[in-house]
Amino acid sequence: MVRKLGKIPGGKVRRLEMVFSSTQPALRVTGVTKRFPGVLALDRVSLDLYSGEIHSLLGENGSGKSTLAKVIAGIYVPDEGSIEVLGKPLKPVSPADAINHGIFYLPQSPNLIDKLTVTENVLLTLRSYGVMSKVKEVKGLVIREAQNIGSPIDPEAEVGKLSYTQKQVVELMKASLLGTRILLVDEVTTYLPRSVREKFYEYLNRLKSEGKAVLLITHKIPEAIEVADRITVMRSGKVVKTLERKEFDIDLIRKLMFENNGLSAYTAEGLSVEHITKDEKAVIRLEDVWATDESGNYALRGVRISVRPREILGIVGISGSGQRELSEVLIGLRSVERGRYYLDGVDVTNKGSKVVRAAGVGFVSEVPLYYSLSGDLSLTENMALVIRDGGLFLSLKSLSAKTREIMEKYGIVAASPKTQAKVLSGGNVMRFVIARELEFARKALIALNPTRSLDERSVLSFISTLKKRVRRDGLSVVYISESLDEVLQVSDVIAVINNGKIMGVYDRRTVEREVLEKLMVM
Amino acid sequence: MVKISLVITKRYKRTIIESTPVILMGSLLTGLVMSYLIIWATVGLDPLSFFTTFYQTLVSYTGLLESLLFLTILGTAISIAFYGSYWNVGAEGQYVLGMLGAIYVVMFSPLSGFLSGNDLVSAAVLKLAAILLGGALGALWSLIPGLIKVFTKISEIPIMLLMNYIAYSLSDYLTAGPWKGRYTYGYIRTDMISESARLTVIPGLETLRYEVVIAAIVVLVSIYLILDHTLLGLKIKFLGTNPTALKSSGFDERKVTVSVATISGFIAGLAGAMRLLGYDYRLPYNIGDGKTGFYGYTAILVAWLSFRDIRFIVPSAIIVSALSSFGYRIQMSLKGLLPPGISAYAFSQIFIGTTLIVYTLTRITKEFSVKLVIRR
Ligand SMILES: Nc1ncnc2c1ncn2[C@@H]1O[C@H](COP(=O)(O)OP(=O)(O)OP(=O)(O)O)[C@@H](O)[C@H]1O
Ligand SMILES: [Mg+2]
């Protein structure tokens, strides 16, 4: 049914052209509807997925991508509609049923047990689906697969100590051992460092050449165009259109995703601020700051930065260069071993987050459900932790009204302020934190990879609101990101971080991209 | 070396049994049937007398109500601590300290002399002072492991278990020493507190005291209000669900832990004080020999069964007190029926055990999946 024209010489993967015959798809979704209290997450969705294709699912935040994947994977039961695997109806009532049909869902946050080793984790999953496998076999596979993806892993290592990439590799191993024929990848790639991401694409292409089907969920259009054979665009729970490769066109896709909705308005808004008064006093100043990571190694080595009012300092570097620790020091979560931290001229070194927050510093982090929100509590409660009026007593009514107002202002999609934070779509969780922190910040904002799970429009809207606040209210911003493009787009001043050191500080208007790139990988 | 770990993970998909009342009734029923089958197989007790006993337990609610009230107060104390991930297994010790505080005020403090008059006002002041000091001592007893946890990161659990024994010893020391009674017919124990310092019996419900009923309601309602309508409650909930978010929002995790420890200990102390003023009237020697009724431990079960949800405290307390009461009655009715060597106590435990296991398992599997991993 599928003809492969490409060959894979010497591990190098070329695009495999494919021809669909009229035969049955590997997976067919027909008219699936899924409602949550107050939300129609999927509205009569139909989709075909063929063996040997990478099929990208694109859509703005909250459009229903993850929900669709979870329905296919048996995590949610659809209210209406049907799913067929190779022509046979699948009534997934549980993830186990889906797995037995060769379907594996790779979630955005790895679903592993931190206290157990890699091998134990893999074995545990296999056993619970009735697949027996020897310890030795699994260990060998762990080593082999990890090498394939380019991220070596010790099979005896505790999963809690692994990096994000490595954890996802472990998930992929589970998928491979369970005999997966249909792999659903939910936004994993947005969290991978660029070098790993390319290896990951190669891996997906290999799966494809083995005749497997991949559903790649993303909201990054260029990524989809680069790797996918077909693209399906979703909007508000509906499938808008499925495009063949020859129809791929970034503007067309963008239009389908956002329906032109406000996108141009955001881009039109001047996205740069060029009015820093050189002699104003620094709002945030780090002097020779040294700090260690969890294992006691220095993650920051003599960091020196300063940010003035109305200034955005972009800090760029490849992942794992000390960005996370730097953001933690700035918000007062991590103490420093040496050096000083001045906020508005006041020494706040190791004074904790209370002093920093009291000064009006906002904080947007890359993992909102870890750093900023409690997934089990309601949106109102999560809002009230940072924004509330009055003292010791909370008026739930006015807090919930306030939450609703802020959610409307920032276009956050959720059934109600009573909704638990964890049921929001990935992008909406991020938008919620951004909204809360932008509303809170009076003096400064610390942002660590804030746009990862945001769709294009949300990124633009975030950046434009941020710039507005900077211009209007004189906010100072430390914008830490792995994306050089983004840092170039946002910042007034750019610093490069590499191995815990600041390699240089440049004026955005005069610096050359190559200079920064070189410093990042030096 | 073989290492066995129990792995508990949050469930993706819900199980079939969702509703808590169903789980509750189902567990009771399973426990009943299982224990009846065992009893029937061993001694052939006829179903009629078995189920009449059960029915009588349910009907004779006054005995139930007494332990229900104390388990509600103590269960709330422990539950609020659980909300903030403070594992208060020391309620037993805090409860004993509450007793000590109460008897001190009504018997040995200067207050007792001033207020020994029989007028209602001074008696009320005396009782209130006794209850408050009991609460304060309970709070202190819980604060010590709390401070140790906060400043040294040593877990509160072993320290609290140790402090329960220290509380018993302290009580025994006072009872046998400085507070030893004169009118005790030779027993080692304190004297009885004066009539005017005792709590008020509710006419018609001899096992109940007005003050205890009021306290149970006040405690339950105020903890509910604290959790849902105050900043402190919000902080406690974040402490229990995501302490990192609490810290990054500018709050001191340690202060919240200390507050939770204090509140929890205060309520447990309060319960102890009321027990002494309302029921025991004196301190016995060897108080650790079950003379506290082990309420402080039993209440852990209540809090645990309520799964960090204040609304389930009362249902859980009902289950636990009904179980102990029914177990006791079964024990009585089986006496004489059993062949020598088999104790009636064993049967009551079978019933309690089965019911609790079924209840706990269904509630756990409702939200979590549990697996066993063996590492060689
Ligand atoms: N378990 C749930 N309970 C209630 N509502 C839910 C649940 N899961 C998803 N939703 C809602 O369904 C809608 C679609 O969410 P979904 O996670 O599928 O979006 P998405 O396309 O993956 O978005 P993102 O790009 O932000 O991850 C959202 O409005 C979300 O709030
Ligand atoms: Mg999603």
The partner residue sitting opposite A396, judged by closest CB among B228, B231, B251, is B228
Asked if B246 and B270 touch (Cβ cutoff 8 Å), the reply is no
Q: What residues have CB less than 8 Å from A443, skipping those under 6 apart?
A: A283, A343, A344, A359, A360, A361, A475, A476
**Reported confidence tier of residue B368, pLDDT bands at 50, 70, 90:** low
**Reported confidence tier of residue A269, pLDDT bands at 50, 70, 90:** very low
d(CA A91, CA A30): 12
Cβ within 8 Å, pair B242-A370: yes
**Reported confidence tier of residue A260, pLDDT bands at 50, 70, 90:** low
Q: What tokens appear for B196 in the block?
A: 């005017």
d(CA B327, CA B313): 21
Nearest CA in chain A to B232: A392
d(CA B90, CA A396): 33
Average pLDDT of the segment spanning A468-479: 93
Q: For residue B289, count CB atoms less than 10 angstroms from its CB and return exposed for 0-12, middle for 13-18, buried for 19 or more.
A: exposed
Optimal mutation site among A353, A356, A363, interface B, most CBs of chain B within 10 A: A353
Residue B73 has pLDDT above 60, yes or no: yes
Angle among Cα A221, A222, A228 to the nearest 5 degrees reads 85
Q: Whose CA is nearest to atom 3 of ligand 1?
A: A423
In a domain, A301, yes or no: yes
- Low-confidence winner among A172-176, A412-416, B94-98, B248-252 (lowest mean pLDDT): A172-176
Q: What is the pLDDT of residue B2?
A: 62
**Reported confidence tier of residue A267, pLDDT bands at 50, 70, 90:** very low
Chain A residues in contact with B373 by the CB 8 A cut-off are 116, 120, 124
Of all residues in chain A, the percent with pLDDT exceeding 70 is 90
Residue B245 has pLDDT above 90, yes or no: yes
Separation of CA A136 and ligand 2 centre (Å): 36
Chain B residues in contact with A392 by the CB 8 A cut-off are 230-232
Average pLDDT of the segment spanning A397-416: 92
Q: What is the pLDDT of residue B162?
A: 95
Which of B312 and B169 is assigned the larger pLDDT? Answer: B169
Beta bridge partner(s), residue B368: B10
Residue A17 has pLDDT above 60, yes or no: no
In a domain, A484, yes or no: yes
In a domain, A426, yes or no: no
Q: What tokens appear for A252 in the block?
A: 């067309």
Q: Closest ligand 1 atom, CA of A219?
A: 25
Give the binding-site residues of ligand 1, using a 6 Å CB cut-off: A 36, 39, 41, 59, 61-67, 219, 413-414, 423-428
Q: What is the pLDDT of residue A276?
A: 45
Chain B residues in contact with A376 by the CB 8 A cut-off are 241-242
**Reported confidence tier of residue A20, pLDDT bands at 50, 70, 90:** very low
Average pLDDT of the segment spanning B114-129: 80
Average pLDDT of the segment spanning B225-251: 95
- Name the one residue in this structure whose structure tokens are 């050191």: A501
pLDDT tens by residue, A98-151: 888 899 999 887 888 888 888 888 888 877 776 666 778 778 877 887 777 667
- Computed over every residue of chain A, the mean pLDDT equals 86
The alpha-carbon gap from A91 to the nearest alpha carbon of chain B, in Å, equals 15
Nearest CA in chain B to A327: B248
pLDDT tens by residue, A344-368: 999 999 999 999 999 999 999 988 9
**Reported confidence tier of residue B10, pLDDT bands at 50, 70, 90:** low
Asked if A214 and A208 touch (Cβ cutoff 8 Å), the reply is yes
Which of B152 and B49 is assigned the larger pLDDT? Answer: B152
Q: What is the CATH number of the domain that holds A505?
A: 3.40.50.300
Residue A382 has pLDDT above 90, yes or no: yes
In a domain, A272, yes or no: no
Nearest ligand to the CA of A62 is 1
Q: What is the pLDDT of residue A1?
A: 33
Cβ within 8 Å, pair B250-A374: no
Q: Closest ligand 1 atom, CA of A187?
A: 27
Average pLDDT of the segment spanning B346-372: 71
Average pLDDT of the segment spanning A77-83: 91
Chain A residues in contact with B229 by the CB 8 A cut-off are 393-396
Chain A residues in contact with B242 by the CB 8 A cut-off are 369-370, 373-376
Cβ within 8 Å, pair B230-A128: no
**Reported confidence tier of residue B129, pLDDT bands at 50, 70, 90:** very high
d(CA B11, CA B4): 21
The alpha-carbon gap from A52 to the nearest alpha carbon of chain B, in Å, equals 29
Optimal mutation site among A97, A325, A374, A378, interface B, most CBs of chain B within 10 A: A374
Residue A484 has pLDDT above 60, yes or no: yes
Cβ within 8 Å, pair B238-A385: yes
d(CA A305, CA A329): 12
Chain B residues in contact with A357 by the CB 8 A cut-off are 249-250
Per 3-state DSSP, chain A is made up of helix, strand and coil in percentages (nearest 5) of 35, 25, 40
Separation of CA B39 and ligand 1 centre (Å): 53
Which of A144 and B300 is assigned the larger pLDDT? Answer: B300
The partner residue sitting opposite A385, judged by closest CB among B5, B228, B245, is B245
Nearest CA in chain A to B249: A386
In a domain, A311, yes or no: yes
Average pLDDT of the segment spanning A495-499: 94
- Low-confidence winner among A31-40, B61-70, B312-321, B359-368 (lowest mean pLDDT): B359-368
Chain B residues in contact with A369 by the CB 8 A cut-off are 242
Q: What is the pLDDT of residue B340?
A: 66
Nearest CA in chain A to B9: A113
pLDDT tens by residue, A198-226: 888 888 999 999 999 999 999 889 889 99
Of all residues in chain B, the percent with pLDDT exceeding 70 is 83
- Low-confidence winner among A140-149, A173-182, B119-128 (lowest mean pLDDT): A140-149
Q: Whose CA is nearest to atom 12 of ligand 1?
A: A41
Q: What is the pLDDT of residue A4?
A: 35
Separation of CA A115 and ligand 1 centre (Å): 29
The alpha-carbon gap from A393 to the nearest alpha carbon of chain B, in Å, equals 4
Q: Whose CA is nearest to atom 27 of ligand 1?
A: A426
pLDDT tens by residue, A426-467: 999 999 999 999 999 999 999 999 998 899 889 999 999 999
The partner residue sitting opposite A120, judged by closest CB among B9, B241, B373, is B373
- Low-confidence winner among A278-292, A496-510, B114-128 (lowest mean pLDDT): B114-128
Residue B146 has pLDDT above 80, yes or no: yes
Average pLDDT of the segment spanning B34-61: 74
Q: What is the pLDDT of residue A263?
A: 52
Nearest CA in chain A to B369: A128
pLDDT tens by residue, A148-174: 766 778 888 888 878 777 888 888 888
**What are the backbone angles phi and psi of residue B16, rounded to the nearest 5°?**
-70, -45
pLDDT tens by residue, A274-318: 444 455 689 999 999 999 988 889 999 999 999 999 999 999 998
Which of B57 and B272 is assigned the larger pLDDT? Answer: B272
Average pLDDT of the segment spanning A254-264: 73
Which of B106 and B64 is assigned the larger pLDDT? Answer: B106
Separation of CA B107 and ligand 2 centre (Å): 66
Separation of CA A40 and ligand 1 centre (Å): 9
Q: What is the pLDDT of residue B282?
A: 93
pLDDT tens by residue, A86-101: 888 887 667 888 888 8
Residue B114 has pLDDT above 60, yes or no: yes
Neighbours of B362 (CB within 10 A): 18
Q: For residue A109, count CB atoms less than 10 angstroms from its CB and return exposed for 0-12, middle for 13-18, buried for 19 or more.
A: middle
Residue A5 has pLDDT above 70, yes or no: no
Cβ within 8 Å, pair B231-A396: no
Q: Whose CA is nearest to atom 24 of ligand 1?
A: A61
**Reported confidence tier of residue A261, pLDDT bands at 50, 70, 90:** low
Residue A16 has pLDDT above 70, yes or no: no
Neighbours of A516 (CB within 10 A): 21
Q: Closest ligand 1 atom, CA of A419?
A: 4
* DSSP string over B229-269: HBHHHHHHHHHHH-HHHHHHTT--HHHHHHHHHHHHHHHHH
In a domain, A329, yes or no: yes
Element (H, E) at A27: strand A27-36
- Expressed as residue numbers, the domain containing A509 is 280-360+471-522
Q: What is the pLDDT of residue A403?
A: 96
Q: What is the pLDDT of residue A366?
A: 86
ipTM for the predicted complex? 0.86
Q: What is the pLDDT of residue A132?
A: 65
- Computed over every residue of chain B, the mean pLDDT equals 85
Classified as helix, coil or strand, A42 is strand
Of all residues in chain A, the percent with pLDDT exceeding 90 is 55
- Low-confidence winner among A108-112, A309-313, B128-132, B198-202 (lowest mean pLDDT): A108-112
Q: What is the pLDDT of residue B116?
A: 62
Separation of CA A204 and ligand 2 centre (Å): 20
Nearest CA in chain B to A96: B13
Among A36, A221, A239, A240, say which to mutate for ligand 1: greatest number of ligand atoms within 8 Å of CB: A36
Nearest ligand to the CA of A411 is 1
The number of distinct structural domains making up chain A is 1
Give the residue numbers in B contacting A (CB under 8 Å), as ranges: 5, 7, 9, 12-13, 228-234, 237-238, 241-242, 244-252, 371, 373, 375
All structural domains of chain B, each given as residue ranges with its CATH number in brackets, are 3-375 (1.10.3470)
Q: What is the pLDDT of residue A63?
A: 93
In a domain, A430, yes or no: no
Chain-centroid distance of CA A120 in Å reads 27
Chain B residues in contact with A365 by the CB 8 A cut-off are 248
In a domain, A346, yes or no: yes
**Reported confidence tier of residue B11, pLDDT bands at 50, 70, 90:** low
